């Protein structure tokens, strides 16, 4: 079955008793047992809930993994995965990454003895160099990275990790399984902020983890049940509803993004455009090999940082907000929003500077979006 069909059929007719097309929302905390030592398979909704169970199965199938797990947010999913490690362990993480991941590592996990090295995971030699034998337990990768869209060769990183007995974890939020299936490339664990493309409508927070083998399924299952940051039944249903249109949304958003990238690349006030679909992007070839597309996230740098505030204040159709992946186009200022918790010197080192703007392109008419950007970027030298 092709992924478009899988997506459209997410949660279809899961209630065999009624034949309901849409998955029922089982808004219950607990379940009656028919008798002592007799169970329906459901006991308590932190452990298992039929609505969440459908979503988890759908995500496992889409990512071609063994088991899926749905959490209350992307950060709850990341936290559950990080709980696989113990005090004294070391992990390597993409140096250009979502600021919240950096924050949880530095402010929470560090105090419990998990050490982290941030590295440009697109440079294999650097990754190899930073492995601490016996201590490094995992590499956590965003590809493309947030917000600079660096691409890591996932096959190569998997083979390096395997040689060194290290686990690979990919945050697949920007791509979704529609465009990229890291488990197929040998990655061990995939995670998502389901808040983004999977949900797709900026109306639900969620996180997803999918594991490739039973070893990690059992461990994540234990962590999910024992720590309890599960996704509720209503939100699980919203996720199933969003997932059904993922292919359509992704195609349109990606198409719009390509056109905006072409327009921005010609604009004299724009210094650089970061999008892996640009043939001159250093990751273009790798992305073409390991993914089915380039996605709908892009960043650009303007000639003068003073212009950023003006652009953001002037946009009328595009909305200034954090987050990404929804049907509405959002403009984000990484230094003040998503990456505000990363120290300025580290941001400067990786290039997340005051002149950088990130766009999450939606499904609107692309000409409206370009016209909006055009009037916001403005004309004349006075803004430069
Ligand atoms: C790539 C990436 N991973 C994880 C997260 C965290 O997800 P959530 O906001 O759902 O907790 C985000 C949020 O922006 C993100 O962009």
**35 C-alpha to ligand 1 centroid (Å):** 43
- The count of residues in the chain is 384
Please identify every stretch of the chain with a pLDDT value under 50, giving residue numbers as ranges: none
Domains, the chain, in order of start with CATH, read 3-243 (3.40.640.10), 247-383 (3.90.1150.10)
Query: Does 98 participate in catalysis according to the annotation?
Result: yes
Ligand 1 atom 8, closest CA: 74
242 lines ligand 1 (CB under 6 A): no
The pLDDT, as a whole number, for residue 340 is 86
Q: What are 189's strand-pairing partners?
A: 169, 211
327-340 CB burial, b ≥16 within 10 A, e <16 = ebbbbbbbbeebbe
Query: Six-digit token pair at 228?
Result: 């309890």
Q: What are 299's strand-pairing partners?
A: 274, 358
197 lines ligand 1 (CB under 6 A): no
Number of C-beta neighbours around residue 163 at 10 A: 10
Q: Tell me the best of 193, 194, 204 to mutate to test the pocket of ligand 1, counting ligand atoms within 8 Å of each CB and taking the most.
A: 193
**By C-alpha distance, which of 94, 99, 145, 142 is closest to 116?**
94
Q: Long-range CB contacts (< 8 A, 24+ apart) of 322-325?
A: 323/195, 323/196, 323/202, 323/360, 324/174, 324/196, 324/197, 324/297, 324/358, 324/360, 325/173, 325/174, 325/195, 325/196, 325/197, 325/198, 325/199, 325/200, 325/296, 325/360
- Residue 77 CA: which ligand 1 atom is closest? 11
Pairing of strands 330-332, 207-211: unpaired
Q: Is 34 exposed, middle or buried (0-12, 13-18, 19+ CB in 10 A)?
A: exposed
The pLDDT, as a whole number, for residue 342 is 86
- Residue 101 CA: which ligand 1 atom is closest? 4
The pLDDT, as a whole number, for residue 32 is 97
**By C-alpha distance, which of 204, 202, 235, 206 is closest to 321?**
202
Q: Tell me the best of 98, 194, 199 to mutate to test the pocket of ligand 1, counting ligand atoms within 8 Å of each CB and taking the most.
A: 98
**By C-alpha distance, which of 194, 231, 178 is closest to 8?**
178
**95 C-alpha to ligand 1 centroid (Å):** 15
Q: Tell me the best of 75, 99, 169, 359 to mutate to test the pocket of ligand 1, counting ligand atoms within 8 Å of each CB and taking the most.
A: 75
Give CA–CA dist 312/314, Å, rounded: 5
The pLDDT, as a whole number, for residue 338 is 86
67, 89, 96, 98: which is the annotated catalytic residue?
Answer: 98
- Residue 75 CA: which ligand 1 atom is closest? 11
The pLDDT, as a whole number, for residue 239 is 98
Query: Does 196 participate in catalysis according to the annotation?
Result: yes
74 lines ligand 1 (CB under 6 A): yes
89, 96, 153, 171: which is the annotated catalytic residue?
Answer: 171
Give CA–CA dist 261/273, Å, rounded: 7
pTM of the predicted model as reported, rounded to 2 decimal places: 0.97
């Amino acid at each position: 079955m092709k992924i478009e069909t899988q997506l459209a059929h997410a949660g279809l007719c899961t209630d065999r008793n009624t034949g309901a097309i849409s998955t029922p929302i089982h808004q219950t905390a607990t379940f009656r047992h028919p008798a002592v030592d007799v169970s329906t398979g459901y006991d308590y909704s932190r452990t298992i809930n039929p609505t969440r169970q459908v979503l988890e199965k759908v995500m496992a199938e889409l990512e071609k993994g063994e088991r899926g797990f749905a959490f209350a947010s992307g950060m709850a999913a990341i936290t559950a995965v990080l709980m696989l490690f113990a005090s004294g362990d070391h992990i390597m993480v993409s140096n250009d990454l979502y600021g919240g991941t950096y924050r949880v590592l530095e402010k929470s996990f560090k105090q419990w003895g998990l050490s982290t090295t941030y590295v440009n995971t697109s440079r294999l030699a650097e990754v190899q160099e930073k492995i601490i034998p016996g201590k490094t337990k995992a590499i956590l990768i965003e590809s493309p990275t947030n917000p600079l869209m660096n691409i890591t060769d996932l096959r190569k990183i998997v083979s390096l990790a395997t040689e060194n007995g290290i686990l690979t974890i990919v945050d697949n939020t920007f791509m979704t399984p529609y465009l990229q299936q890291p488990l197929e490339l040998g990655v061990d664990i995939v995670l998502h902020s389901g808040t983004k493309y999977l949900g797709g409508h900026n109306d639900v927070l969620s996180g997803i983890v999918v594991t490739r083998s039973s070893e990690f399924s059992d461990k994540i299952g234990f962590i999910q049940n024992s720590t309890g940051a599960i996704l509720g039944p209503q939100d699980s249903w919203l996720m199933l509803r969003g997932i059904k249109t993922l292919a359509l949304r992704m195609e349109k958003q990606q198409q719009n993004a390509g056109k905006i990238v072409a327009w921005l690349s010609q604009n004299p006030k724009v210094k650089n455009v970061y999008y892996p679909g640009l043939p001159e992007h250093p990751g273009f070839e790798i992305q073409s090999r390991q993914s089915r597309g380039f996605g709908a996230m892009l960043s650009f740098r303007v000639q003068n940082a003073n212009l950023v505030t003006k652009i953001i204040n002037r946009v009328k159709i595009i909305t200034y907000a954090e987050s990404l992946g929804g049907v509405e186009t959002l403009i984000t200022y990484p230094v003040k929003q998503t990456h505000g918790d990363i120290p300025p010197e580290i941001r400067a080192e990786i290039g997340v500077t005051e002149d950088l703007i990130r766009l999450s392109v939606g499904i609107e008419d692309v000409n409206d979006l370009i016209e909006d950007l055009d009037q916001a970027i403005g004309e004349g030298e006075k803004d430069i």
